[in-house]
Amino acid sequence: MVKVLFLIMSGDQKMDLALRMAAASVVNKRFDDLKVIFFGPSQERLLNLEGQAKEDFDTLLKNGSVDSACINYARGKGIDSTLLKLRLDLKPAGERLAYYVNNGYQVLTF
Q: Which residues of 16-28 are buried (b: 16+ CB within 10 A; e: fewer)?
A: bebbebbbebbee
Task: List pLDDT tens digits, range 71-94.
Answer: 999 999 999 999 999 999 999 999
> Bridge partners of 25?
none
Q: How far apart are CA 97 and CA 7, in angstroms?
A: 8
Number of H helices, E strands in the chain: 6, 5
The 10s digit of each residue's pLDDT in 16-72 is 999 999 999 999 999 999 999 999 999 999 999 999 999 999 999 999 999 999 999
**CA–CA separation, 38 and 89 (whole Å):** 10
CA separation for the pair 51, 59 (Å, rounded): 13
